[in-house]
Amino acid sequence: MGTSFEKAPFYAQISLKGTLLCLKGNKDHAARRKYFSKAFTQNNLLEWEGTLKKGVRRAILGMKEKGREEGKEVDVLKAVTEMSLKIMVELCFGEMGEEGGEKIPKANDGPTRAAIIDGVHSEVIFTENGSKRKVLYLLRSLPLPLFITRWIFQPSVKESVQQLKQNYLTKPDDFKNTILARAIGKNEEDTGLPDGILVKEAKAFIVAGTDTTANAATYLFWVVLKHPEVKAKLQEEVDSLPEDFSISQVQALPYLQLVITETLRIFQPERWENPTPEMKDSYMPFGIGARVCIGQQLAQMELALSAAMLFREFHNVRIAPSMTEQDMIVEDHFAMSPKGHNFMVVL
């Protein structure tokens, strides 16, 4: 809160330094945030309702395809990671259509998709001005594909930013709700952000909005499936939704919101039926104050939609026999993730 606390030196070492996510100075951060804050308001995000639903539907179809054989295990973490990635790419650069479309030539289509996900992961560990010693250490410590995929990720995003600029300047109404739109220069007086910064910000939003939401969704499914009484109560509530429900209707489900709130702490959902002021003040999974996560409302929409739609679709989903408690121990790196790096279920 206030202006006396700034980002730790760590954020100046990774390759996303200089972005909203990593800006050290609070005044610089506030000025940069103005370019993007409107894109993350509830009203603007509701304009993307179709995109968010489509993203979850694609994940469901993919899981169905992989789990077609009876008893076959399906990786929820992989499905929701791809879902979150696709949603973030479309929110950054524009709607792509059911099959990927032509507006974003590389960042979310074709054989590079898995490489892009690896590139997202690699982006947070590479320093731009690291010493030779650091680079050699990384070469010894990391799998080679991580280095390769970062260089796929970089040109994909750069190309997509250029395409977005062209699209926005020729058809502004079609792209005005994208995350990056208000940071694009319109004329000599309104210069916006330089191209290099736009590329870095796009990468930062994709990085920050992919694993965080995917991991939270994964732990939501994990803890709900571990507690049959919670699953039954939640199942009854999401099944009560009308066939063509809206995001607003999903977010109005009281027990689902309790489950989401408590999943971010991993305790008991009922604890939040009557929270005290002290509980509300101390609850900060998205941070607090001027540095609060700009994508908080988007993440909550994705969590609510994915939980409602997946549990409505897969009534009999259960944790796969291959899973152990050890697999789901939290590893805390740039974003928390399960130690086993998957969450297998049987549909």
pLDDT at position 234 is 97
User: What integer is the mean pLDDT of 299-314?
Assistant: 96
Length, in residues, of the chain: 347
Please state the rounded mean pLDDT for residues 160-166.
Answer: 89
Q: Quote the CA–CA distance of 274 and 50 in Å, as a whole number.
A: 33
**Cα(81)–Cα(250) distance, integer angstroms:** 21
Rg (C-alpha) for the chain, rounded Å, is 20
CA 282, distance to chain mean position in Å, is: 24
**Calpha distance 106→100 (Å, rounded):** 9
Q: Which one is predicted more confidently, 334 or 118?
A: 334
Residue 218 confidence (pLDDT) above 90: yes
> Is the pLDDT score of 125 beyond 60?
no
- Residue 150 and residue 133: Cα distance in Å, rounded? 20
User: Is residue 4 very low, low, confident or very high in pLDDT (cuts 50, 70, 90)?
Assistant: low
Report the alpha-carbon distance of residue 342 to residue 328 in Å, rounded. Answer: 8
Nearest to 300 by CA among 232, 228, 248, 231: 248
Residue 121 pLDDT grade (very low, low, confident, very high; cuts 50, 70, 90): low
pLDDT confidence of residue 113: 47
Q: Which two tokens stand for residue 312?
A: 């409505």
Q: List CB contacts of 152: < 8 A, sequence separation 6 or more.
A: 106, 112, 115, 116, 119
User: In this model, does residue 58 exceed pLDDT 80?
Assistant: yes
pTM beyond cutoff 0.95:
no
> Over pLDDT 90: what percentage of the chain?
45
Q: Where are the alpha helices (DSSP H) in 18-126?
A: 26-36, 42-46, 49-66, 76-93, 113-123
Alpha-carbon gap, residue 162 to 266, rounded angstroms: 41
> Of residues 134 and 228, which shows the higher confidence score?
228
Q: What pLDDT band is residue 169 in, cutting at 50, 70 and 90? A: confident
**Residues 276-294 pLDDT 10s:** 888 877 777 777 777 778 8
Q: What is the pLDDT of residue 267?
A: 65
pLDDT tens digits, residue range 19-43? 888 888 888 899 999 999 999 999 9
* Distance separating alpha carbons of residues 343 and 322, to the nearest angstrom: 10
Range with lowest mean pLDDT among 163-172, 210-219, 264-273, 336-345: 264-273
* Confidence grade of residue 123 (pLDDT, cut at 50, 70, 90): low
User: How far apart, in Å, are the Cα atoms of 111 and each of 118, 174, 246?
Assistant: 13, 27, 33
User: What are the strands, taking DSSP E only, across 60-208?
Assistant: 73-75
Q: What six digits make up the tokens of 228? A: 């049959």
Q: Helices 195-226 & 254-263, crossing angle to 10 degrees?
A: 110
Residue whose tokens read 């005044």: 27
Dist CA 90 CA 99 (whole Å)? 12
**CA of residue 16 relative to chain centroid, distance:** 16
Amino acid 266: pLDDT: 65
What pLDDT was estimated at residue 319? 97
Look up residue 301 and give its amino acid. Answer: M
- Integer Cα distance of 82 and 87 in angstroms: 9
Q: In the predicted model, what is the mean pLDDT of the chain?
A: 81
Largest CA-CA distance found in the chain, in angstroms, rounded: 62
Measured between alpha carbons, how far is 105 from 338 in angstroms, rounded to an integer?
A: 32
Region of poorest pLDDT, from 150-154, 176-180, 337-341: 150-154
Ranges of each domain in the chain: 9-346
Most confident of 7-16, 62-71, 151-160, 248-257: 248-257
**pLDDT tens digit sequence for 315-337:** 999 999 999 999 998 887 666 78
Question: Which DSSP string do the residues of 310-329 spell out, in sequence order?
Answer: HHHH-TT-EE-TT--GGGGP
Helical residues (DSSP H) of 195-227, grouped into ranges: 195-226
CA nearest 223: which of 178, 265, 170? 265
Distance CA 24, CA 110 (A): 37
Topology at the third CATH level for domain 9-346: Cytochrome p450 (1.10.630)
Q: Which two tokens stand for residue 129?
A: 């001005």
Residue 250 scores a pLDDT above 90: yes
- Give the mean model confidence (pLDDT) for residues 147-175: 77
